[in-house]
């Protein structure tokens, strides 16, 4: 009996709580609908609002797609055109919100003040992060610390900026991972931009050779490999520079050289490294030897 009572009691309490919840929901919905009616909003207005938002979303996708296509066609204007995508999105969403508030809701001054109060409360309680991200997006679009297509490093992540959305910025890392960073972080963290709107980008290529190898010859070969690469870009402002540094057990030959399109950064590095090493080996230039200690020669007895 006691067991039965024990099993029944939770059921009855759950029924009680369910009926209490449904009453609460119906009260809340009645409250919301009366509040909406007070603003003159009926179901057709809500459908209209949803339709405008969907249209705005579809429009941003179409505009982004067309601008991307257009930018690929006019290669030299690629980054400039892509930079207009976030601006276009901002304009479309801005117009949609303006249309919803002005034409659909037809809000009076008093209603606008009441709405701002509601929005302020919502932001204060739960949406402050979202709003901070959107404000960050607007700041990014206007301040342009980076553009779509730039290679940036932030928070230890490195990649190409592929999209600047209203809420977050998307990067694609060299290993093809998608990194999403909120716009708020993008404006508050220290950000390194390797290209700053230019198509070309400096690439540093290090090769290490054995100390006994001919360093001058290695420098000449690395320079030749860099300037003859299919990905190279050279001008008086973008020169090729070769450096040599001596370490205790090896030498480092370094090339600072520009790739003609930052999308080819890693292909460029591989191309120069491969052809330089082919020529190094032909010229008898060797990689550093592994330093293996000889136990006999280093022992105190020896």
x-marked contacts with another protein along 172-211 as a string, rule CB under 8 A: ---------------------------xx-----------
75 binding another protein? (CB under 8 A):
yes
Assess 72 for contact with another protein (CB under 8 A).
Answer: no
Residue 146 vs 258, nearer CB to another protein: 258
Q: For residue 241, state whether it binds another protein (rule: CB under 8 A).
A: no
Q: Which residues have C-beta within 8 Å of that of residue 276, sequence separation ≥ 6? A: 207, 221, 222, 225, 226
The H-or-E segment that residue 208 falls in is: strand 201-210
The yes or no reply on residue 234 touching another protein (CB under 8 A) is yes
Binding test (CB under 8 A) with another protein, winner from 10, 230, 248, 294: 230
Q: Residues 88-122, buried b or exposed e (16+ Cβ, 10 A)?
A: ebbebbeebeebbeeebbebeeeeeeeeeeeeeee
Binding pattern for the stretch 44-63 against another protein, x by CB under 8 A and - elsewhere? ------------------x-
Interacting residues of 169 by C-beta distance below 8 A, sequence separation 6+: 140, 161, 163, 180, 181, 182, 183, 186
Supply 65's token pair.
Answer: 């797609």
Should residue 237 be labelled a site residue for another protein when binding is judged by CB under 8 A?
no
Helix (H) or strand (E) holding 184: helix 183-188
Q: Which of 166, 225, 262, 285 binds another protein (CB under 8 A)?
A: 225
Query: Interface with another protein by CB under 8 A: which residues?
Result: 62, 65-66, 69, 74-76, 199-200, 221, 224-225, 227-228, 230, 233-236, 239-240, 260-261, 264, 271, 274-276, 278-279
């Amino acid at each position: 009996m006691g067991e039965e009572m024990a099993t029944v009691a939770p059921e009855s309490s759950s029924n009680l709580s369910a009926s209490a919840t449904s009453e609460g929901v119906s009260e809340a919905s009645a409250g919301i609908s009366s509040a909406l009616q007070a603003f003159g909003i009926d179901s057709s207005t809500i459908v209209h609002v949803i339709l405008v938002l969907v249209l705005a979303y579809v429009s941003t996708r179409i505009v982004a797609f067309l601008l991307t296509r257009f930018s690929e066609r006019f290669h030299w204007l690629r980054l400039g055109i892509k930079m207009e995508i976030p601006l276009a999105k901002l304009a479309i969403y801005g117009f949609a919100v303006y249309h919803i508030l002005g034409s659909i809701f037809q809000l009076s001054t008093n209603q606008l003040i009441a709405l701002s109060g509601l929005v302020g409360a919502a932001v204060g309680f739960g949406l402050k992060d979202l709003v901070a991200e959107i404000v960050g997006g607007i700041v990014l679009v206007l301040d342009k610390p980076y553009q779509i297509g730039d290679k940036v490093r932030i928070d230890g992540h490195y990649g190409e900026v592929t999209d600047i959305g209203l809420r977050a910025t998307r990067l694609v890392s060299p290993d093809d991972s998608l990194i999403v960073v909120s716009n708020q972080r993008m404006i508050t963290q220290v950000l390194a931009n390797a290209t700053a709107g230019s198509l070309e980008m400096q690439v540093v290529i290090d090769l290490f050779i054995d100390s006994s190898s001919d360093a001058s010859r290695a420098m000449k070969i690395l320079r030749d490999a860099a300037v003859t690469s299919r990905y190279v870009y050279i001008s008086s402002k973008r020169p090729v520079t070769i450096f040599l540094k001596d370490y205790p057990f090896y030498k480092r030959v370094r090339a600072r050289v520009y790739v003609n399109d930052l999308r080819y950064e890693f292909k460029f590095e591989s191309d120069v490294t491969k052809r330089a090493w082919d020529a190094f080996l032909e010229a008898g230039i060797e990689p550093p030897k592994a330093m293996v200690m000889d136990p006999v020669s280093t022992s105190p007895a020896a």
